[in-house]
A and B are shown apart, each in its own frame.
Chain A
Amino acid sequence: MAAVAALYDEFKKLGVEVLAMSTDSRFVHKIWQEQELSKMVSGGVPFPMLSDAGGKIGAIYGVYDEEAGVDIRGRFIIDPDFVIRAMEVLTPEVGRNPEELLRQIKAFQHVRATGEVTPSGWQPGQVTLKPGPALAGRVWEVWKP
């Protein structure tokens, strides 16, 4: 949470709204913000912290662990048409990489704006691919890992 909050300006620049969700109540979110998050990141977490009572929303999104009664780490990129573009789900011990999240958002925004596709590990400014019959079998000419 704090790692995403620290990069919040970058998310804002990309026009991204961040929503965080756990099975904790809104009261606990408030106290976590005041007691800990605000000490990790100046001003605390600037995006809404949602309460998934009973894990009902997490269950629909495939991240609710019934045995533990919590939502595991899962993040979803949703585009302006309300279509889910990406999901990443991890067991709780390993935290996520917000830089990779930013990279994926930039790639999806580029694809949406241009109709091009982005090869593995693409970063803004690097070569993209224009899918079509002419490219079949000739990707090696324009892109190598």
Chain B
Amino acid sequence: MPELKEGCVKPARGPIVPAAESAVPAAGVTSSQEVRKMTARVGKEAIDFEANAFIAGVGFQPVKLSDYKGKWIVLCFYPGDFTFV
């Protein structure tokens, strides 16, 4: 895959909220209900996102979680590159 043209700043979409949930909340819907919908929980559907990524042998490329739908996925967060553990 050819490497995309690279700039210093490349916005990625971050969390992708389902259209129905990103609409202006209906009257009576509290903000805590909005937050609850957008929190990852076991047994519930994963929340999609898009992020810029570095992939060995490929280069820089945006990655969407839902690109991997249909496969088993392990998503690992860690505090930072060059940390000690």
Contacts and interface: CB of A to CB of B under 8 A. Distances in A.
Interface of A: 1, 4, 11, 14-33, 36, 43-54, 56-58, 60-63, 68, 70-87, 92-96, 101, 105, 108-109
Contacts of A72: 77, 79
Contacts of A68: 79
Contacts of A79: 72
Given A32-B82, A73-B76, A76-B46, 18 more contacts: A4-B74, A15-B71, A19-B75, A21-B51, A21-B76, A22-B77, A23-B80, A27-B54, A29-B81, A44-B56, A46-B56, A51-B52, A56-B49, A57-B49, A57-B51, A63-B77, A75-B74, A76-B40
Contacts of A80: 69-72
Interface residues on B, range: 35 or more
B1 interface: no
Given A61-B40, A78-B73, A84-B43, A73 B79 contact: yes
Contact of A78 (B55, B75, B79): B75
A114 to B, nearest CB: 16
Interface of B: 11-12, 14-15, 38-47, 49, 51-56, 60-61, 63, 65-66, 68-83, 85
A26 B54 contact: yes
A93 B40 contact: no
A78 B72 contact: yes
